[in-house]
Structure 1
C-alpha cells in the first residue's frame, strides 16, 4: 500500500469514527477521544501540505512501510535526509519512529546519567515536541513560522472541522494553540500499535508461538550474556531477557567512537563542523557529554539502516564488527571501505570501559548475533530483511 492510499484510508477511518460529525469533547482520557485524536494525527502525519513546497510529510523521513525511517537515497546512500527545498541535506540519520513513544522524558537519573528524550540528543522530552521540530526546520520541511503552518491547516476544510470538534473553535484562530494541537495529534498517532506492535519473531517466541533456529538461539545467548559480549550493557532495559516489552535500549547516552561521515559532510558542506551530540541539548552544559548520543532501540534494527547517528555504516554486520574491533586485534579493516577504521569524531569521551569488555568474536558468532537481531523485526517488516 503506498502513502497516498494510506492517506485516503486514514481520512475515511477518521470521518467514520466521528459518528456523523458529532462534536467530541476534548477529554483525551476517553478512549473515543483518543482514537479520534490519533486518527487526526495519522492524517497529519501523511500530509505533504505541511511543508514549504508541499512535497514532504512526517512519513517522508519516517516511512511506515519501511521501518519508519527515511528510505530515500538522497544522494548519500540514505545516510541523512533531504529537505523540502530538494537541496538541503541534514547531518544526522533520521532515527526510526517505531517504539519512540516508549522513550522516557529527558532527565538525569539517580546515578547522574542523562536518560531519554527524543532526537539523537534528547533535546525534546516528548513525541509532541519532536513532531513540532521538522515543520519549522529550514533544512527539513521548511515552513517559515507556526503562523504559516496554521494557515495551511485552516485552508483545509477537513482539518477545520476536525480541530474544531476536538479542540474547540478558538484553536483555529490562535497559531500557538493550533500548532500544539497538531503536535498532540501526531503524538497520539505515534502512540498506537501501528508504531509498536510487539509482534516480531522474538515476541512470538516469548509467547510460545515459534522457536528460534539454532543460529538465532546462539545469537540470543551471546547477546544477553555479559561473559561473551557487552551488547546488553546498553541494549537491555529490563533485568530479564524474557520481558515481553523489552525495547533493547537503556535510553542512556554514549560515545562509542563513531567516526565522521566524510561523504555526507562533503555533500552538505559542513566540513568544519563537529556534532557535539548531547552537549547540544539546551539542558546540558557539561563538556564531558560531548559526542554522546542516545542509545537507539534495536527493534527493527535489521531494516532501519544506515546505522549510527550519522549513517556512516550501511550494513548491520559492519556495526558488530565495529564494536568487536575494540577487543579483536584482527578486525583492523572496515569491510565497507576496505580501509582501516577511522578515528572517532570525539576521542576524549569514548566509553572504553564498556567497549573493551568481553572477548573477541569469531565470524560465526557475529553471524549468530545478526541472525538474532533479525528476529527483532516487526512482522510487517520481515519481508524487508536482506
Structure 2
C-alpha cells in the first residue's frame, strides 16, 4: 500500500498543473472567515503505481481508521474528475486531520480540506471515504464516488457548444421506421431512433468536450482564492450602502444560482437577508432592475459573452466591455483565459444604481469610466479593512493588498467552480438506456428533429450556440431604454438576447430575459407561433400570473403599460416569423425532456455540491455577510 502524507513545499520542478489541481474547493472557509494558511501547502495527493487499475499495493496496515471511535465525518464532501487520471475531493474546513481511502485502501491523510488522487485509470469510477475516526462508522466517515474522464487526450478547451447544426426530420432516419413524429414511434424503435439522432448531432463528442472543459476549469482554481471569492460573493460590503451582495440575486441554493424572481430586487430591500420570492424594497411595485437574474451555475462554461446582451464578450481582438479600464485591468490580471469573462463581469453590478449602489451618492461621476473605476477602488475596496480581510487576501494572492482587481478575480474563481453538468440525459448518452423513460426519449427526439427548430439555437452538450437571437419575447418591466417607455431592445437594438443554456433549465424559472413566463411549458409554447403567443400573452395579462406580481392591483398597466405595442414593434422589425407548429402533446414531451437536463446536485439545495458554495453562517470576515433566508425565515 502506498500511503502518502504530504505537507512539504512542492519542488519547482513539479508540473504547474499539479500545483493548481486544488479545486474542489468549493471551499467552506474557517469559522472566523480567515484562512489558516494551509491553502498554500501543496496538494495532498496519491499516485497509483499499480499499472492503472486504481488499487494501491497492499500491505499490512490496519485499514479500519482511527481508534477514537467518536470523530465526526467531514461535512460537504464532494468529488469530481480533474482529468482522465485524477479526481479531486473537498470537504468543509474544520482543521481536523483526515484519512482518505480509495475503496478499502488508505491512500493518504491530510489536515487540508481537499485532496487530489492521481494516477488513476481513465473512464473509471472510484469510491472514496474520508474519516478522522473509524471507517466502518457511518457517523464518522463521509463517502463519495466520482469518475475519471473518458481519456487523457482532450485538452479541455472546447465547452461542448455547437454552432454547426446537424439535424433532420424524424422520417429521414431509417432507424425511426418512417414515423413522422415522436408520437408515432413504436416503443421498440425509440432507442435506435434517438441514438441515430445523437450520432448525427455528434453528442457523445460534445459531451466529452464539456466534461473535459469543466474538469480543466475545476483543476485550475486555487482553494484559497475560491474561499476568498465565496466570502466576497456573499458580502454586503461590496454594495454602496452595505445592504446588497452578489448572492442577493444569485443564491446557490435557489435555482442553480438565481433568485426565483422575474426581475430581481437589489438595493434598499426591506429585509436585506431575504432572498427570492418576498424580497421587496417596499416602494417599487415593479422592480427597477430591468432584467432577470440569470443563474450563476455553469457561468464558467461560457466562452463568447456574459450578460443577457453579451456586452462583456471575448472577441478575436481580446476582451470587450463597456469600460476600457475594466478590459485592460482584467487582461493584465488574467489575460483572456478561463476567468476573464467572469472577472470582467464582476465589475459592473457593483456600480449599477439599482443593483448594488449609486456611485453619484458618493460624489463620483457616472458619465466617465474613471468615475466608476475610482468608486470601486476608493469606496468598495477600501471598505474591506485589512484586519478583517487581510489574511484571506494573503492566502489567495501572497500578500494582504486589497484592490478591486483582486476582488473581481477571486469572485471569478468562486464562480468558476459552480459547475453542474451531471444529468440523466448525459447518462443516456453514456449508454444507460434506462436513464430516460419513454416520454423523455420521445421529447429528446422531438427536440432534435429538424422541424422543431430547437437545435438551431440549442445545439451541442452546452445546449446553446452562445449568440444573440431575436425571438420576440413579451416586453414587460421597466426596460433598458433611456426613454423610460419600458422597451428593452437587447444586445443589437432589435430585441436580441443571449441564447441561454438549457442545462438545468427546468429549475431556473421564471423564464425569459424579464422572467416573462411562469412555466417552462409556456416558454416552449412561445416558439410554436410567436405572433399568436404575443397576442395571447397580453390578451390574458399573463404577466399577472407571475408569482412576483400576483395580487398587484392594476397589474397589467403597472407591469407592462406599453408591452403589446413594444413587443409588436420588435416582432415586425425582425420580419415576424417563428413557427414550428408542434402539437400540445409534442410540447409536453419537449418539456419532459428538458427536465432530464437537470443536475440532481443543483436541484437539491441541501446537496453537498450546493451547500459547499455557501459560507458558514458566521457573519463573514467583517460582520456584513449575507446569511440568506427565504420568506418563511428558513436559512438558504
Q: Same fold (TM over 0.5)?
A: yes
| 1:375 positional shift | 0.9
Aligned residue runs from structure 1 range 1-386, under 5 A: 9-12=28-31, 18-19=37-38, 34-71=222-259, 78-86=261-269, 87=281, 89-104=288-303, 116-125=304-313, 126-142=341-357, 144=359, 145-146=375-376, 147-153=378-384, 155=385, 157-169=387-399, 171-172=401-402, 178-192=403-417, 195-209=418-432, 210-227=434-451, 229-236=452-459, 238=460, 246-261=461-476, 264-265=477-478, 271-279=484-492, 289-326=493-530, 333-334=536-537, 337=540, 342=564, 343-344=567-568, 346-350=570-574, 352=576, 355-356=578-579, 358=580, 360-382=581-603
Instruction: Decide whether the 8 Å contact of 1:321 with 1:331 is kept in 2.
Output: no
Instruction: Decide whether the 8 Å contact of 1:96 with 1:304 is kept in 2.
Output: yes
Paired with 2:257 and 2:586, the residues of 1 have a C-alpha distance of 28
Paired with 1:330 and 1:81, the residues of 2 have a C-alpha distance of 25
Instruction: Rate the CA distance shift 1:18–1:208 in 2: closer, same or farther, 3 A.
Output: farther
| 3-state SS, counterpart of residue 439 of structure 2 | helix
Paired with 1:257 and 1:181, the residues of 2 have a C-alpha distance of 39
Question: Is the radius of gyration larger for structure 1 or structure 2?
Answer: 2
* Per-residue Cα deviation, 1:309-350 (whole angstroms, up to 9, x for no partner): 1111111111111111249x7996349937799444523443
Paired with 2:218 and 2:420, the residues of 1 have a C-alpha distance of 22
Instruction: Rate the CA distance shift 1:331–1:90 in 2: closer, same or farther, 3 A.
Output: closer
Instruction: Decide whether the 8 Å contact of 1:46 with 1:59 is kept in 2.
Output: yes
2:608 is matched with which residue?
Answer: none
Paired with 2:239 and 2:425, the residues of 1 have a C-alpha distance of 38
* Per-residue Cα deviation, 1:123-169 (whole angstroms, up to 9, x for no partner): 1131111111111211111163211111222x253421222343354
Paired with 1:55 and 1:120, the residues of 2 have a C-alpha distance of 25
Instruction: Rate the CA distance shift 1:117–1:13 in 2: closer, same or farther, 3 A.
Output: farther
Instruction: Decide whether the 8 Å contact of 2:463 with 2:502 is kept in 1.
Output: yes
Paired with 1:332 and 1:274, the residues of 2 have a C-alpha distance of 17
2:152 is matched with which residue?
Answer: none
Instruction: Decide whether the 8 Å contact of 1:205 with 1:212 is kept in 2.
Output: yes
| 1:16 positional shift | 6.2
Paired with 2:349 and 2:591, the residues of 1 have a C-alpha distance of 32
Instruction: Rate the CA distance shift 1:20–1:339 in 2: closer, same or farther, 3 A.
Output: closer
Instruction: Rate the CA distance shift 1:164–1:23 in 2: closer, same or farther, 3 A.
Output: farther
| 1:35 positional shift | 2.4
Paired with 1:198 and 1:69, the residues of 2 have a C-alpha distance of 14
Paired with 1:213 and 1:186, the residues of 2 have a C-alpha distance of 39
1:282 is matched with which residue?
Answer: none
| Count of aligned residue pairs for this structure pair | 326
| 3-state SS, counterpart of residue 379 of structure 2 | helix
Structure having the larger proportion of residues in helix: 1
Instruction: Rate the CA distance shift 1:303–1:136 in 2: closer, same or farther, 3 A.
Output: same
| 3-state SS, counterpart of residue 323 of structure 1 | coil
TM-score normalised according to structure 1 size: 0.74
| 3-state SS, counterpart of residue 394 of structure 2 | helix
Instruction: Rate the CA distance shift 1:17–1:33 in 2: closer, same or farther, 3 A.
Output: farther
Paired with 1:260 and 1:297, the residues of 2 have a C-alpha distance of 21
Instruction: Decide whether the 8 Å contact of 2:255 with 2:603 is kept in 1.
Output: no
Paired with 1:300 and 1:33, the residues of 2 have a C-alpha distance of 23
* Per-residue Cα deviation, 1:1-25 (whole angstroms, up to 9, x for no partner): xxxxxx994345985673187799x
| 3-state SS, counterpart of residue 265 of structure 1 | coil
Deviating more after overlay: 201-210 vs 368-377:
201-210
| 1:235 positional shift | 0.7
* Per-residue Cα deviation, 1:217-260 (whole angstroms, up to 9, x for no partner): 01100111113x00110011x3xxxxxxx111101111101121
Instruction: Rate the CA distance shift 1:338–1:119 in 2: closer, same or farther, 3 A.
Output: closer
Instruction: Rate the CA distance shift 1:315–1:250 in 2: closer, same or farther, 3 A.
Output: same
Paired with 2:540 and 2:435, the residues of 1 have a C-alpha distance of 36
Paired with 1:199 and 1:310, the residues of 2 have a C-alpha distance of 27
Paired with 1:100 and 1:151, the residues of 2 have a C-alpha distance of 28
Instruction: Decide whether the 8 Å contact of 1:50 with 1:143 is kept in 2.
Output: no
Q: Which structure 2 residue ranges, 5 or more long, are not aligned?
A: 1-25, 44-216, 270-280, 282-286, 314-340, 360-374, 544-562, 606-636
Instruction: Decide whether the 8 Å contact of 1:118 with 1:124 is kept in 2.
Output: yes
| 1:379 positional shift | 0.7
